[in-house]
């Protein structure tokens, strides 16, 4: 994996903790034994003064180290290549590929490969394929002349098949998306929460903006074509649930959303919603889950562009070294939200 090497302190901390999540990010070479290991190697830890960190096996081998026979560090690279190859096969396939066929194509046993793929990307190959298809739908909508054509172009057998699955997608219905949100009425309120005043806004289809420290003027600037009004029916039930989700994050994970972003942003937001409460994912993992493993920085930007705080849980995103990264509403709030979900922060 082509990420930059984490800091030496982060590498050492991950090596000491035998952090499997860091396997593939870097290698640890021990100068006394001339052997290199992956971070999770079960072997006894040498003294810190005796280790060097390398980005990959080629770099470690060039420096005169041999792969450890116990943790087989070069298999990590093979696994990563297999996951990337499988992702490419899924993307190129006209018809959904079954797990057995996919695993066989990259030379692994099905169950083992399912776990491997999930560990690398956060989702199973089947969920990855579904997400990819939903994103193609979103991209096609921007290009195709008619909604129906877009549905066929994305590989759905008939429009009804798409609408059956559309509930699982984020976003406006196709027609509202195409009109740029014009003709939509947005009701808003500002609720008091333990983390400060929270703007909550919704269309009749779902929540379109949830943000700390925002007011009506900011909302109107964000939706210039919509009619923005205080209160409104959809909010009566939703606002209380949103506040509850702030106080006990992880609850109300399936509140209806009505948001729009680029195809990649939506893919990252969906990936965030797939993270169980109490767990975290790195920006690199989110990029991979969104189908663009190299777009690590763009994944971070997509988290920052999240239109509905808490409900798209961008507070579960973090840097590759386990540090929290940024948060649009301040790190203190991110820290509290994560603590409420039971995330144990790395020091």
Residue positions annotated with a catalytic role: 37, 314
Residue 70 binds Zn ion (CB under 5 A): yes
User: Minimal distance in Å, beta carbon 16 to Zn ion?
Assistant: 14
Best CA proximity match to 14, nearest among 51, 48, 39, 36:
39
Those residues with Cβ within 8 angstroms of residue 187's Cβ, 6 or more apart along the chain or in another chain = 201, 202, 203, 229, 230, 231, 232, 233, 234, 235
Report the residue number, 33 or 262, with the smaller CB distance to Zn ion.
33
Residues 286, 264: Cα–Cα separation, whole Å: 11
Span interacting with Zn ion, options 36-44, 84-92, 169-177, 303-311, rule CB under 5 A: 36-44
Residues 132, 289: Cα–Cα separation, whole Å: 10
Span interacting with Zn ion, options 67-75, 101-109, 230-238, 326-334, rule CB under 5 A: 67-75
Binds Zn ion (CB under 5 A): choice among 1, 29, 68, 257:
68
The two tokens of residue 19 are 């952090």
User: Minimal distance in Å, beta carbon 46 to Zn ion?
Assistant: 11
User: Minimal distance in Å, beta carbon 288 to Zn ion?
Assistant: 25
Span interacting with Zn ion, options 29-37, 54-62, 88-96, 105-113, rule CB under 5 A: 29-37
Residue 60 binds Zn ion (CB under 5 A): no
Span interacting with Zn ion, options 41-49, 201-209, 239-247, 280-288, rule CB under 5 A: 41-49
The answer to whether the beta carbons of residues 279 and 119 sit under 8 Å apart is no
The answer to whether the beta carbons of residues 134 and 169 sit under 8 Å apart is yes
Q: Which residues pair with 3 in a beta bridge?
A: none
Residue 71 binds Zn ion (CB under 5 A): yes
Report the residue number, 29 or 68, with the smaller CB distance to Zn ion.
68
Burial class of residue 175 (count of CB atoms within 10 Å of its CB; 0-12, 13-18, 19+) = exposed
User: Minimal distance in Å, beta carbon 27 to Zn ion?
Assistant: 9
Report the residue number, 30 or 235, with the smaller CB distance to Zn ion.
30
Residue 37 binds Zn ion (CB under 5 A): yes
The two tokens of residue 33 are 């034994």
Residues 71, 164: Cα–Cα separation, whole Å: 45
Binds Zn ion (CB under 5 A): choice among 27, 28, 41, 310:
41
The answer to whether the beta carbons of residues 51 and 38 sit under 8 Å apart is no
Residue 30 binds Zn ion (CB under 5 A): no
Residues 248, 278: Cα–Cα separation, whole Å: 12
Interface with Zn ion (CB under 5 A):
37, 41, 43, 68, 70-71
């Amino acid at each position: 994996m082509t990420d930059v090497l984490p800091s030496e302190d982060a590498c050492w901390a991950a090596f000491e903790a035998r952090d499997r999540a860091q396997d593939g990010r870097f290698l640890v070479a021990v100068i006394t034994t001339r052997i290199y290991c992956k971070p999770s190697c079960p072997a006894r830890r040498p003294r810190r003064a005796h280790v060097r960190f390398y980005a990959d096996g080629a770099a470690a081998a060039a420096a005169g180290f041999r792969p450890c026979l116990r943790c087989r560090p070069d298999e990590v690279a093979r696994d990563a290549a297999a996951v990337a190859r499988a992702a490419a096969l899924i993307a190129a396939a006209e018809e959904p590929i079954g797990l057995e066929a996919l695993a066989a194509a990259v030379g692994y046993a099905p169950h083992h490969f399912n776990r491997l793929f999930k560990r690398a990307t956060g989702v199973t190959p089947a969920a990855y394929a579904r997400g990819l298809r939903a994103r193609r739908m979103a991209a096609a909508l921007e290009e195709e002349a008619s909604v129906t054509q877009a549905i066929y172009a994305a590989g759905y057998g008939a429009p009804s098949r798409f609408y059956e699955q559309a509930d699982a997608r984020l976003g406006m219905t196709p027609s509202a998306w195409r009109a740029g949100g014009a003709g939509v009425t947005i009701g808003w309120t500002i609720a008091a929460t333990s983390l400060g005043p929270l703007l909550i806004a919704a269309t009749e289809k779902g929540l379109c903006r949830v943000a700390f420290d925002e007011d009506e003027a900011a909302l109107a600037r964000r939706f210039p074509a919509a009619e923005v009004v205080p209160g409104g029916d959809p909010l009566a039930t939703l606002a209380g649930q949103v506040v509850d989700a702030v106080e006990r994050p992880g609850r109300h994970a399936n509140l209806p959303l009505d948001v729009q972003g680029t195809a990649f942003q939506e893919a990252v937001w969906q990936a965030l919603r797939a993270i169980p409460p109490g767990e975290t994912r790195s920006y690199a993992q989110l990029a991979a889950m969104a189908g663009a493993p190299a777009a690590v920085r763009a994944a971070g930007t997509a988290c920052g562009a999240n239109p509905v705080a808490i409900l798209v849980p961008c507070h579960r995103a973090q840097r590759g070294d386990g540090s929290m990264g940024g948060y649009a509403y301040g790190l203190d709030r991110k820290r509290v939200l994560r603590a409420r979900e039971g995330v144990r922060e790395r020091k």
